[in-house]
Amino acid sequence: MAWIKRNLFFVVGGILAIGLLGAAGYYNFTGWSHNTAAFARLNEIYGTLRDLTSKKPSPGNDKINNIEAAKEQEAQLRDWIREAGSYFQPIAPIPNTGTNAVTSEAFAAALRRTIDQLQHEADTASVTLPPRYGFSFEAQRVMVTFSPGGLGPLAQQLGEVKTLAEILFTARVNSLDGIQRVRVSTDDTAGSQTDYFEGRSVTNNLAVLTPYLITFRSFTPEVAEVLARFASSPHGFVVKSINVQPAGAYAASPDLSATPGSPFTPPRPWMPGGPGVPPPVTASAPGRGGLQTVLNEQLLRVTMVVELVKLLPTR
């Protein structure tokens, strides 16, 4: 105790020195831990950057900024999607109420008006129709009340069938044998089998694809006109398949509906010399005082599967 009193300043200085050394050690330890964590984080960032740089394409460097280029390309793609949307304009249902709330009375009246209008347009365009043709709505034509769940899809199909028929009338085909659609209502079970074929609408991430089967008779210029009008239509029609045969091979229109549960299979292509088919046209010898017949075009029977692409609403 006497020694401490004699060396009080030394003892106090030593205690202070030990405290300062402890504080310095603690500071050094925390700094080392911080540096270690920062170094590990730096290595992680460097590894991520190295991985990104090695990818193809890479984010870029100080001369090329691939991220900005990707953003510009995304903007261009979105602009293209907006422009392409003008070729996939929706077809308005009949009747068009603005919603799916269609009453039986409204649909029955609209169906009668639409069929009468299409028959008048066919007569004006000199297109022959089957007797009292109902444009695939023969079952609904005689109904007064309809299945509530099928009124919306039926109204949509009526608008689409009207658009299809008017394309054929505008192209002035010789005759329309029929338009077949997929069943969308329980009321369709009572209809004629020639009004339907065993396809179905398909929905993907972008659109609903609704198929139709069309059979008509015409010459080659009218066939080309029909294809051109489908290609230039603003409603997104896609011709999936086409089968062309001489109309003379068919004395009457056969039932085109496929076996239930199976996809539609078009008839086999016409082959020269086949049974029931007239022989191929050949150049005839010139008659006395006449000109040589170079081409004697035949009336064709065309079976065409057309899909209507209906874009889903953007979210």
- Number of neighbours of residue 134 by Cβ within 10 angstroms: 19
Whether residue 271 is contained in a domain is answered as no
Whether residue 193 is contained in a domain is answered as yes
Output the pLDDT for position 227.
94
Among 52-61, 125-134, 272-281, top mean pLDDT goes to 125-134
Output the pLDDT for position 274.
43
Q: Are residues 116 and 155 in the same domain?
A: yes
Whether residue 8 is contained in a domain is answered as yes
Q: Are residues 95 and 73 in the same domain?
A: no
Whether residue 274 is contained in a domain is answered as no
pTM score, two decimals? 0.64
Q: What is the three-class DSSP state of 218?
A: strand
Q: Are residues 50 and 191 in the same domain?
A: no
Output the pLDDT for position 295.
60
Q: Are residues 47 and 129 in the same domain?
A: no
Beta bridge partners of 169: none
Output the pLDDT for position 278.
45
Q: Are residues 209 and 107 in the same domain?
A: yes
Strands (E), the chain: 175-181, 202-203, 207-218, 237-246, 300-311
Low-confidence winner among 55-59, 230-234, 277-281 (lowest mean pLDDT): 277-281
Q: Where residue 198 sits, what CATH number does that domain have?
A: 3.30.70.60
Q: Are residues 127 and 228 in the same domain?
A: yes
Q: What is the C-alpha to C-alpha distance for residues 155 and 112, in angstroms, rounded to an integer?
A: 12
Q: Are residues 43 and 18 in the same domain?
A: yes
State the Cα torsion 272-278-284-290 to the nearest 10°.
-150
Output the pLDDT for position 297.
77
128: which DSSP letter?
B
Number of domains in the chain: 2
Q: Are residues 72 and 95 in the same domain?
A: no
Q: Are residues 73 and 17 in the same domain?
A: yes
Q: Are residues 116 and 177 in the same domain?
A: yes
State the residue range of the domain holding 162: 91-251+297-311
Helix and strand element counts for the chain (H, E)? 7, 5
Average pLDDT over residues 286-299: 63
Whether residue 263 is contained in a domain is answered as no
Q: Are residues 233 and 304 in the same domain?
A: yes
Identify the band that residue 257 occupies on the pLDDT scale cut at 50, 70 and 90: very low
Whether residue 275 is contained in a domain is answered as no
Q: Are residues 126 and 238 in the same domain?
A: yes
Low-confidence winner among 59-63, 86-90, 100-104, 123-127 (lowest mean pLDDT): 59-63
Whether residue 287 is contained in a domain is answered as no
